[in-house]
Homo-oligomer: A and B are copies of this chain.
Amino acid sequence: MTSTRIIIDPPELAVTEWIGEPSPLASLKGKVVLLETFQMLCPGCVTRGLPQTQRVQRLFPEVAVIGLHTVFEHHHAMTPDALRVFLSEFRITFPVGIDRHDGDDPIPVTMRAYGLQGTPSTLLFDRSGALRLSAFGAADDLALGAELGRLLAEPDHDETPHTKGMDE
C-alpha cells in the first residue's frame, strides 16, 4: 500500500483548475505538504481518506494540506461542477486541484506521472519539495501522524544550507 521511494524532484501537479487558493507544489516549498488524491464518488475517499485529511488540516496548521481530484472512471459523473457541490457539502476547505486529462487517456496526467494505484492516495512532500511518501488506501492515523512528525522534525535545508550541521 505504501511506497517510501523518495523522489527528489517530483513532477509539478498538472491542474486545469483550482477550487480555492491555487497551490502548485512549487509555491509550497519550505513547508511539509500533504496531498490527498481522491475521487468524489469513491467510498474509501469519502468515509476515510478525506475525513483523515480534514483532521490533519485541523491538528497541523504548519502542514500545507491540499487535494487533487484524480478522476479515472465515471468521468461524466464527477465533473468540476459536481466536485464544487461535493466540496461545499462535505465542508472541505483546503484547496483542491483538478487533475488534467490528456487526449483519450482515462487516467489523468498527475495520477499517471506519480504512478498512483487508485484513490484515495496520500502523498507527503518534505520542506525541500521531495516526495517522501505515497500511500494507497486509508492510512492508520498513528502511522500517518508519525510520518508527518518525522518530516516536521527535519530542518528546511533549502533555506540556509550552511547552518545545516547545527540543526540537530
Residues of chain A whose beta carbon lies under 8 Å from any beta carbon of chain B: 41-43, 46-47, 52, 55-56, 59-60, 74, 76-79, 81-82, 84-86, 89-91, 140-155, 168
Q: Is the CB of B89 within 8 A of A42?
A: yes
A145 CB contact (under 8 Å) in B46, B144, B155: B144
* Across-interface contacts of A74 in B (CB, < 8 A): 85, 89
* Across-interface contacts of A78 in B (CB, < 8 A): 85
Q: Is the CB of B82 within 8 A of A143?
A: no
Given contacts A56-B142, A77-B81, A146-B149, 13 further A-B contacts (CB under 8 A): A43-B91, A59-B146, A74-B85, A77-B86, A141-B141, A142-B142, A142-B145, A145-B146, A146-B148, A146-B152, A147-B149, A149-B151, A154-B168
